[in-house]
Chain A
Amino acid sequence: MTFSRDGKTLIVHLEGTINYSNSAEVKAEIRNEIREHDRDLILDLKNLEFADSSGIGVMISLLKTITAKGGFIKMCSPNDELSFVLKMTKVDLIIPLFETLGDAKKNLAADYLGA
């Protein structure tokens, strides 16, 4: 997992697998990276190969963390299989899902333009 920043947006580039075996560690690592000035979060799923319900739990947990800070959270670039899981569990209804990182950033900017 790597991190990058775009203004007040922390972008988390997830990799490999997030499941029952490592979800607690992944959640802790991301939370530890969130700084006071980080307002919004984008979860870049491009290199995330697999996630189970525990992985989805991490995403929901981050939604709560970022919402509490007054920010927005988005997801982008899932593979086809991951997209199936996110839509089947309806996570995409509460964490908007985009095909590309650029689309996620644009949507985030639009949230603030509309605010």
Chain B
Amino acid sequence: MNGKSGKITLKSDKTVIESTILKFLTDYLSEERKSCQFKIRLILSELLANSHFHGNQGDSEKNVVFEFRFDGRILYLDIRDEGLGFSIRNDKEMLSFIEEEFGRGLLIIREIAEEITANEAGLISVKVDLSKL
């Protein structure tokens, strides 16, 4: 599967987000290993949930824009919401908040992705090398 790309604008709604993630996996990554699909699903869940709950404050009147490019090995993901954006903080060590209920999403993305960047306009870009998953 080479040279796939697309742009999806979706309503900031939990059900819509979930169905979009599952459709993306089916449409573009169905030939990938199970572990690879799991990790991409994980990254997308963390990114889109972050946009929905934090960027868009759970407001289903707002949108999330999800762009992707996939060359068969590297997957580039750009997620934009209608929030104020955020800076990728220099995370504390995992052990320092191991007993907290929240705060693992970004760490999960960092662990799986090659790169993650964010700008103040609410755009988060992630690069994943599927050959390393």
Contacts and interface: CB of A to CB of B under 8 A. Distances in A.
A20 B107 contact: no
A60 B35 contact: no
B41 A61 contact: no
A91 B99 CA distance: 8
Interface string B84-116: 000000000011001111111101100100000
A93 B94 CA distance: 11
19 contacts: A20-B52, A50-B38, A50-B41, A52-B46, A53-B102, A56-B104, A64-B99, A80-B35, A81-B34, A84-B35, A84-B38, A85-B42, A88-B108, A89-B94, A89-B107, A90-B94, A90-B95, A93-B95, A94-B99
A96 to B, nearest CB: 14
Contacts of B94: 89-90
Nearest to B16: A21
A54 B41 CA distance: 14
Contact of A19 (B39, B45, B104): B45
A71 interface: no
Interface residues of B, number: 28
Interface string A10-44: 00000000011100000000000000000000000
Contacts of A63: 99
Contact of A52 (B35, B53, B98, B105): B105
Interface of A: 19-21, 50, 52-54, 56-57, 60-61, 63-64, 80-81, 84-85, 88-91, 93-94
Nearest to A61: B101
Contact of A81 (B18, B35, B52): B35
B45 A52 contact: yes
B83 to A, nearest CB: 16
B108 to A, nearest CB: 6
Given A20-B14, A57-B101, A88 B111 contact: yes
B101 A60 contact: yes
B131 interface: no
B100 A60 contact: yes
Interface in B43-65: 45-46, 49, 52-53
B54 to A, nearest CB: 11
Contact of B108 (A60, A80, A85): A85
A20 B108 contact: no
